[in-house]
Amino acid sequence: MTNRIKSFYSLYSNNCSLVVDCRGDSPVILYWGSRLADETSPDMLALLATSQELQASLPQEAPIGLSPQTAAGFSGSPGVQLHRDGLQWAVYTRIESVSLTDNKLTIISACQGTQIQLTHCLVLDHKTDVLAATTEIVNMGESSLWLDRCDAPCVPIPKHYSKILSFTGRWGNEFQSQSIDRFMGAYVRENRSGRTSHDSFPGVIVHTEQTNESSGSAYGLHLGWSGNHHVRVEEHFTGQGYAQLGELFLPGEMLLEPGQAYKSPVLFGASTDKGLSALSGAFHRHVRANLTDRRIANKIRPVHFNTWEAVYFDLSLERLCALAEHAREVGAERFVLDDGWFKNRKSDNAGLGDWAVDKTVFPAGLAPLINHVHKNDMEFGLWVEPEMVNPDSDLYRAHPDWVLNTQPAPLLSARNQLVLDLTRVEVQDYLFERLDALLNEYPISYLKWDMNRAIHQPGDQNGHAVGHKQTRSLYKLLARIRSAHPEVEIESCSSGGGRADFGILEFTDRIWTSDSNDALDRVGIQKGFSMFFPAEVMGAHVGPDVCHITGRTLSMETRVGVAMFGHMGIEANLLGMGRIETQVLKAGVALHKKYRSLILSGNLVRLDTHCEESAFGIVSQDGSEALFSYIQLNSLSSSVGGRLQFAGLDSNSLYLVNIVWPTEPKSYSKSILDVINGSTMSGDALKNAGVQLPIMHPASMLVFHLHRIS
């Protein structure tokens, strides 16, 4: 820390620079973008940003500070909103100290009028180029402080970043991209579901009109928080634009007593001038370097077999053991017993909360099944949904007061379940004791942790809103389980992708992307997911030939080809599968294993395609090997498709090219399929000329393997 506050502070990473202007009372991001040359000084940037007085406005435009302030003349959305019983609400802070150590900038400001201390912390990761930023507020007064809002640091948006790419969706169709033109006014998304949500992912990308996957400038912003949140991109009549992301508080939820503090969730940001794939690459590097727990960082991600769409609630030891044998035969390495294994659980009407093995199905407990799974050289995993309770359960009959509620309103049941109040110590202790007992009794290596409903009535026994505390309590419970059983991996599932964010990844190891295993829907779901998350945390399963959600029938080749580009699994009834389908599935699992290290560690390169197509590549870190996937989603407007141009390759290298999936690709007449295998092509030719695609049926795909010839 220094006694003299400098005018500017600069953070640098491999490819980016961030400059913060501290000349005024509030810190402001002056520049965030491509790494600046040594000859470029902050004074130059400040001079270039000189603006003039606007008509009918203040003589000097209010700054878009890290926490914009109404008392400073800012007419937009303030970064902090608070009061003391309706008074002392006008925040106006002045910088008191600044420290810069190891690319971590900490700025402490104070407001005399509201008696608060504000700390902004910005860290620019040197290797990943990702910015991690938080805002912390401390009540320095002698009375209670009501905090209505405290966003993560605000990011000014350049005017030429004229496009907003956000992410919406629903159950069974998450991570759908939504592109709109930036406009004068506020683009706002809010989520009050008590989880990350299916329909309002806490992330946004703003970019230029010309930006595509391989070129152009963009900012990507994501709030690492698994609860209520808001995303705001606003443009004033002045032309100024900014983005604010933060936790969304319920009424009266955040009360700070004297000396107490609140810190915002982390805002993760990336900036690029090389297109959207490069933006995703920064986030992927950050997850791999900073959020992937060291205990599994170098572990092979095993191929799953999950029992849900194979048997649903129709469980028997004999049938499950037969499934385990078939799962081993097709190449599965982990057997996950899904819902239905615990007391009174014959359907989704009863049993949640009673986390003891159902002796009517498993008279000797789970040991016989687990032993059989281990004899077939697979790990054993188990489905749980600890946060929920069925009214028809021993737990609820004993403790009806343990659920969240908004009395005197009647309890709202969804999927026949209510939400346990994790903020209560006795609930935390009960859930930990039951899970701890299971993990101590049985050699369980994996928990699929589900949450199958939103929190519609987030009130505790005293009538207080506890959305924030419920999320923090979930984190606490997960951390407690991980500490007691560090060898156990945990998947974040919430009716599919309803809880997918960087906050939950601090405590879990995999995300179930969607309950829909429809391969065509999965193409779009996984593309949206890939904007922020790498393949190794993306659960991707081969479903049945008829998807139970969409009713669509798809070939095994397509189902396998889509699933192999994530953390692969199988979720289908192997006992009823025909010989040919089984052979195709086995071949696909083997292909995934062959290239697993590439798929789960390489650089993702999405290709710009027409809406009836989708294509991407995974390129190894050294550029020596790549897999490219192309899928034709619908019928084309022309008789034959165009050329597939491979991005991300070394133009000066030669590559051996083969089609590796399907095992026997076919087309209407002689085509590229008959001549491409074993050919040698330059990276330059593959990138700029591309491969002529064959005539293909809708919902069919090709996977190319490229290997650099030394």
Tokens (6 digits) for 675: 């001549």
- Contact of 297 with 289, CB cutoff 8 Å: no
Tokens (6 digits) for 257: 């007593």
DSSP line for 637-700: SSSS--EEPPPS--TTSEEEEEEEESSS---SSS-GGGT-TTEEEEHHHHHHT-EEPPP--TTE
How far apart are alpha carbons 221 and 667 in whole angstroms?
43
Residues 6+ apart with CB under 8 A from 571: 304, 305, 306, 308, 309, 310, 517, 541, 542, 543, 544
Q: How is residue 67 annotated by DSSP?
A: S
How far apart, in Å, are the Cα atoms of 253 and each of 82, 208, 672, 707?
12, 38, 62, 56
H or E stretch at 42: helix 42-48
Tokens (6 digits) for 20: 């913060």
In three-state secondary structure terms, 35 is coil
E-only strand ranges, 128-209: 131-139, 145-150, 155-156, 163-170, 173-181, 185-191, 203-207
- Contact of 362 with 371, CB cutoff 8 Å: no
Residues 6+ apart with CB under 8 A from 586: 329, 330, 331
Question: Terminal CA-to-CA distance of the chain, rounded, Å?
Answer: 52
Exactly one of 125, 515, 518, 521 is catalytic; which is it?
515
- Contact of 241 with 127, CB cutoff 8 Å: no
Residues 6+ apart with CB under 8 A from 228: 191, 192, 193, 194, 247, 248, 249, 250, 467, 468, 471
How far apart are alpha carbons 513 and 515 in whole angstroms?
7
Strands 489-492 and 446-449: parallel
Q: Is 450 a catalytic residue?
A: yes
| Residues paired with residue 657 on neighbouring β-strands, in sequence order | 679, 706
Q: What is the largest CA-CA distance in the chain?
A: 82
Tokens (6 digits) for 436: 């701890």
* Identity of residue 576: G
How far apart are alpha carbons 692 and 366 in whole angstroms?
54
How far apart, in Å, are the Cα atoms of 211 and each of 163, 274, 275, 491, 570?
9, 8, 6, 34, 37
Exactly one of 450, 501, 509, 518 is catalytic; which is it?
450
Q: Is 273 a catalytic residue?
A: no
How far apart are alpha carbons 684 and 687 in whole angstroms?
5
Residues 6+ apart with CB under 8 A from 708: 623, 624, 625, 650, 653, 654, 655, 656
How far apart are alpha carbons 536 and 531 in whole angstroms?
14
Per DSSP, helices labelled H in 291-366 are 308-311, 317-330
- Contact of 421 with 403, CB cutoff 8 Å: yes
- Contact of 116 with 91, CB cutoff 8 Å: yes
Per-state percent for the chain, helix, strand, coil, to nearest 5 = 20, 30, 45
Tokens (6 digits) for 464: 């207080």
Which residues are tagged catalytic?
450, 515
